Amino acid sequence: MKITPDFKTLIAQALKEDSIKCDFTTFGLGIKDLKIKAVLFAQQEGMLCGLDITKEIFKACGEVKWQSDFKDGMCFKKGCKIVYLEAKAGTILAAERVALNFLSHLSGITTLTNTFVKLVKQKKIKIYDTRKTTPGLRKLEKYAVKIGGGYNHRFNLSGSIMIKDNHIHVFRKEYLKDDYIVQMVKRLKKKYSRREIVLEVHDLKEWIQAMQVNPDVVMLDNWNPEDIKTALKMLKKRIFEVEISGNIDFGKLKKISSLGIDRVSLGSITHSAPIVDFSLEIL
């Protein structure tokens, strides 16, 4: 991972939030300048993500000798020693919590993403994230999804054109005709001919309209397996990618993975990923 200026700004804000310049315990004990060694290790198994930004956090607090045989995307077992550190106590103790917070959070996203990826690997279904991310951390969280083997949906509203339910509701009130899906896609194709169009549809009536105008991706939002099966039987030739979304968990993904879909989008891999627990111990 390249540490860009915006990442450095984010690190500075996180360290400021933790008031590292007011560590009264370390300062009061007079141990700030003592040279110490420490090890960062895993409390559980998982897939690693965020090691570069973790290193940058320690570097932002002082000079650090860093030794690690790991890199992002590598799997580890419980008890694995991820990093050995040597620095002044004030540096290590100041950076510890902020560094572990980032590493735990990003590794959690990567680990959960990879679990979903493995579940559908044989079916060649792609796992996508969404924009349901922590404000200010989107770039890092989407990076963690990619490290876990997933794919990124648009980064923000200026990315691909995504026609969602609220766009449809607003347009229908204005347009007041049955072919509203057809007209929406035609209008956007004419205005933005080179942009990817992702269309969210909610029933078979909208699906039939989607087949008439061929957006790049048709997203079946909150559909049950039987309706998905019915819709795909109507598709004589694959003219767009078919994506499933809406409260997908492991059980539901297993049920729909054999239906012939191309991709699945999951908000849960960013907004609900449990952390991977790491600890730092002074040697």
Tens-digit pLDDT profile for residues 162-191: 999 999 999 999 998 899 999 999 999 999
Residue 78, CB-side half-sphere exposure with 13 Å CA sphere: 3
The reply to whether 83 and 165 lie within a common domain is no
* 79, 137: one domain: no
Cβ burial of 158 (10 Å; 0-12, 13-18, 19+) is exposed
**Same domain, yes or no, for 109 and 235?**
no
For residue 245, pLDDT beyond 90: yes
Q: Is residue 253 a contact partner of residue 228, using CB atoms and an 8 Å limit?
A: no
Among all chains, which residue has been given the structure tokens 């627990």?
277
pLDDT band at 225 (very low <50, low <70, confident <90, very high): very high
Q: Which residues contact 40 (CB under 8 A, 6 or more apart)?
A: 54, 81, 82, 83, 84, 85, 99, 100, 103, 278, 279, 280
In the predicted structure, residue 233 carries a pLDDT above the cut 90: yes
pLDDT at 176: 87
CA distance 255 to 247: 13
Band (pLDDT 50/70/90 cuts) for residue 237 is confident
The model's pLDDT over 93-124, given as tens digits with 9 standing for 90+, comes to 999 999 999 999 999 999 999 999 999 998 99
CATH value at residue 204: 3.20.20.70
Q: What is the pLDDT of residues 264-282, one digit of tens each?
A: 999 999 999 999 999 999 9
**One domain for residues 75 and 102:** yes
Between CA 181 and CA 197 the distance in angstroms is 12
Arithmetic mean of pLDDT over the chain: 96
Q: What is the DSSP string of 25-39?
A: HHHHHT-TT-EEEEE
| Per-residue model confidence (pLDDT) at position 209 | 96
Please indicate, yes or no, whether residues 108 and 210 belong to a single structural domain of this protein. no
Q: Which pLDDT does position 236 carry in this prediction?
A: 85
d(CA 91, CA 89): 5
**Boundaries of domain holding 79:** 5-116+274-282
Report the amino acid identity of residue 180.
Y
Mean pLDDT across 220-224 = 94
- Identify whether residues 130 and 84 lie together within a single domain: no
Q: Are residues 80 and 139 in the same domain?
A: no
Across residues 158-164, what is the average pLDDT?
94
The residue from 32, 59, 132, 189 that is catalytic is 132
**Is the pLDDT reported for residue 3 higher than 90?**
yes
Same domain? 110 vs 41: yes
140 with 258, same domain: the answer is yes
For residue range 49-98, what is the model confidence (pLDDT) as tens digits? Answer: 999 999 999 999 999 999 999 999 999 999 999 999 999 999 999 999 99
CA distances from 178 to 172, 226, 230 (A): 8, 24, 21
Kindly state whether residues 72 and 57 are assigned to the same domain: yes
Residue 82 β-bridge partners: none
Query: Does the pLDDT of residue 44 top 90, yes or no?
Result: yes
Other C-beta atoms lying within 10 Å of the C-beta of residue 194: 5
CATH number of the domain to which 111 belongs: 3.90.1170.20
Which structure tokens are listed for 269? 């891999």
Count of domains for the chain? 2
Using pLDDT thresholds of 50, 70 and 90, give the confidence band for residue 238: confident
Q: Are 228 and 244 in contact (CB under 8 A)?
A: yes
* CA–CA gap between residue 230 and residue 228 (Å, rounded): 5
C-alpha distance from residue 201 to each of 66, 155, 170, 189, 271 (Å): 51, 21, 15, 17, 23
Which element (helix H / strand E) includes 85? strand 81-88
Shared domain for 138 and 180, answered yes or no, is: yes
Percentage of the chain exceeding pLDDT 70: 100
Q: Active site includes 255? A: no
CB 264 within 8 A of CB 246: no
Query: Distance between CA 231 and CA 186 in Å, rounded?
Result: 22
Considering only residues 145 and 2, tell me which one the structure prediction assigns the higher pLDDT.
Answer: 145
Same domain, 182 and 250: yes
Give the DSSP letter of residue 151.
Answer: B
Q: Is the pLDDT of residue 40 over 90?
A: yes
What SS3 class is residue 125? coil
